[in-house]
């Protein structure tokens, strides 16, 4: 809208259009007919178009008036909801935290990292999952308060981002009950014979798992690769293949998915980071997350 638009003039026009005439609008507003008429003419002058035209004993909207009325309806309907929205906001004040979650990050790890703030009264937690680079862009534009990822932010002279270590977890090998007996025999060389599921190179840990295979002279029998760790575990639990997962989710895998651990990916850890735009964190909930993780190291 133009900067010189007078919303009082717009309101008078809105009432005239709803009432079907200036006299009826003046009666509803308890104002003089001349005052209402002058206010509407001022609105027409500021917009540069006639909004109303005579029709019999009343007035009807011109094409420009119809367009103006549609917008006025939206504006004043929202205005009518404003007092209720303010009352709701004051009665239940929300503490908002907008978190970007790198799409390869294990969901149970995300829950564990966010655990220190989940009991915050009136918490409003907004979780946005996406590609790592896209999330960093949203963070730089202050659409997010923090990004959780499996790698630190890359160096970029144009964007000041700060990576805070949130811990790491060893990687283990798991198998469904059907594959467990075959998988546990002659570990780790059995991984050349049993079907193997792996994260894609989209996940930072994949390169470290590949080096682990190379160091042991193993060419794994890969039957599936997954960007999403939850999908990887789902297909692994169904018996499609053995799969790696971090120690942090071991209890959940054993109890909920019925899989069994049959070996350790020695020397391979998955790392977790919180990335923000401030060297000295200001957001109280982000401060709590970082403090809780440091205390657990």
Between CA 69 and CA 13 the distance in angstroms is 8
Same-domain status, 116 and 133: yes
Q: How many domains, the chain?
A: 3
Q: Measure the CA–CA gap between 277 and 284, rounded to whole angstroms.
A: 14
Q: Do 27 and 158 lie in a common domain?
A: no
Does pLDDT of 55 surpass 70? Answer: yes
Is 53 in the same domain as 72? yes
Q: Is residue 265 part of a domain?
A: yes
Confidence category of residue 20, pLDDT binned at 50, 70, 90:
confident
Residue 181 and residue 40 in one domain: no
Burial 273-284 (b: 16+ CB within 10 A, else e): bbbbbeeebebe
d(CA 271, CA 164): 11
Counting every residue written for the chain, the total comes to: 297
For residue 287, tell me if it sits in a domain. Answer: yes
Pairing between strand 221-226 and 162-175?
unpaired
Q: What pLDDT is attached to residue 297?
A: 53
Pick from 91, 106, 141: which residue ends a domain?
91
> Looking at the domain assignment, is residue 224 inside a domain?
yes
* pLDDT at position 157 over 80: no
CA angle 242/248/252 to nearest 5° reads 65
Q: Assess if residue 205 is contained within a domain.
A: yes
- pTM of this prediction exceeds 0.75: no
Q: Is residue 1 part of a domain?
A: no
Domain enclosing residue 204, as ranges: 168-269
Closest among 6, 7, 39 to 22, alpha carbons compared: 39
Distance between CA 89 and CA 175 in Å, rounded? 49
Are residue 52 and residue 119 in the same domain, yes or no? no
Q: Check whether residue 182 and residue 147 sit in a common domain.
A: no
Among 47-51, 88-92, 96-100, 234-238, the range scoring the smallest mean pLDDT is 88-92
pLDDT at residue 256 greater than cutoff 80:
no
Bridge partners of 289? Answer: none
Q: Is residue 191 within 8 Å of residue 241, measured between CB atoms?
A: no
Residue 136 lies in a domain: yes
* pLDDT value for 181: 87
Which range is least confidently modeled, 69-73, 89-93, 150-154, 203-207? 89-93
**What CATH number is given to the structural domain containing 51?**
1.10.10.10
Q: Verify that 152 and 289 share a domain, yes or no.
A: yes
Spell out the long-range contacts of 158-161 with Cβ–Cβ below 8 A and sequence spacing 24 or more: 160/277, 161/136, 161/275, 161/276, 161/277
The confidence score (pLDDT) of residue 85 equals: 73
Top pLDDT among 219 and 76 is at 219
State whether 27 and 62 are in the same domain: yes
pLDDT at 121: 85
Query: Is residue 285 located within the same domain as residue 158?
Result: yes
Task: Pick the last residue of a domain from 70, 91, 112.
Answer: 91
Residue 229 falls within a domain, yes or no?
Answer: yes
pLDDT reported for residue 1: 41
Asked whether 14 and 29 are in contact (CB, 8 A), the reply is no
Average pLDDT over residues 284-294: 83
Cα separation of the two ends of the chain = 54
Cis peptide before 188 (omega within 30 of 0): yes
In a domain, 2, yes or no: no
The answer on 162 and 277 residing in a single domain is yes
- pLDDT at 89 (0 to 100): 65
The whole-angstrom separation of Cα 124 and Cα 210 is 40
pLDDT digits 0-9 by tens, 234-252: 999 999 999 999 999 888 8
Q: Is the pLDDT of residue 87 over 80?
A: no
232 vs 146, 170, 187, 219, 245, CA distance in Å?
26, 17, 21, 20, 9
**Same domain (yes/no): 197, 148:** no
Q: Helices (DSSP H) in 92-176: which residue ranges?
A: 107-114, 132-140
Question: Can you tell me the mean pLDDT for 207-229?
Answer: 95
Distance between CA 273 and CA 277 in Å, rounded?
13
Confidence (pLDDT) at 241: 95
Cα 297 from Cα 290, distance rounded (Å): 11
CA angle 202, 113, 149 (to 5 degrees): 20
Please write the tens of the pLDDT for every residue from 94-144. Answer: 788 999 999 888 888 999 999 999 988 888 899 999 999 899 988 988 889
Instruction: Label each residue of 131-177 as H, E or C.
Output: CHHHHHHHHHCCCCCEEEECCCCCCCCCCCCEEEEEEEEEEEEEECH
Q: Give the rounded distance of the alpha carbon of 235 from its chain centre.
A: 26
The CATH number that applies at residue 146 is 3.40.190.10
Residue 134 and residue 196 in one domain: no
Mean pLDDT of the chain: 88
């Amino acid at each position: 809208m133009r900067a010189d638009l007078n919303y009082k003039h717009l309101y008078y026009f809105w009432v005239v259009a709803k009432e079907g005439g200036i006299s009826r609008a003046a009666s509803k507003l308890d104002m003089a007919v001349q005052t209402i008429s002058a206010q509407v003419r001022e609105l027409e002058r500021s917009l540069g178009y006639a909004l109303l035209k005579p029709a019999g004993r009343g007035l009807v909207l011109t094409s420009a008036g119809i367009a103006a009325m549609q917008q006025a309806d939206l504006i004043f309907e929202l205005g009518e909801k404003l007092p209720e929205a303010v009352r709701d906001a004051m009665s239940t004040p929300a503490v908002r935290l907008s978190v970007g979650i790198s799409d390869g990050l294990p969901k149970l790890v995300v829950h564990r990292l966010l655990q220190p703030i989940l009991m915050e009264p009136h918490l409003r937690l907004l979780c946005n999952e996406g590609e790592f680079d896209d999330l960093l862009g949203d963070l730089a534009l202050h659409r997010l308060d923090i990004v959780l990822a499996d790698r630190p932010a890359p160096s970029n002279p144009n964007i000041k981002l700060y990576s805070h270590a949130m811990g790491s977890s060893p990687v283990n090998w798991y198998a469904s009950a059907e594959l467990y007996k075959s998988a546990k025999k002659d570990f780790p060389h059995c991984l050349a014979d049993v079907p193997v599921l792996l994260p894609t190179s989209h996940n930072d840990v994949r390169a470290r798992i590949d080096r682990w295979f190379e160091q042991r002279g193993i060419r794994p029998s890969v039957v599936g690769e997954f960007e999403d760790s939850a999908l990887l575990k789902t297909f692994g639990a169904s018996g499609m293949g053995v799969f790696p997962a971090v120690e942090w989710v071991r209890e959940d895998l054993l109890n909920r998915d019925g899989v069994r651990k049959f070996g350790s990916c020695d020397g391979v850890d998955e790392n977790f980071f919180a990335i923000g735009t401030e060297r000295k964190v200001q957001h109280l909930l982000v401060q709590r997350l970082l403090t809780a993780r440091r205390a657990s190291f």
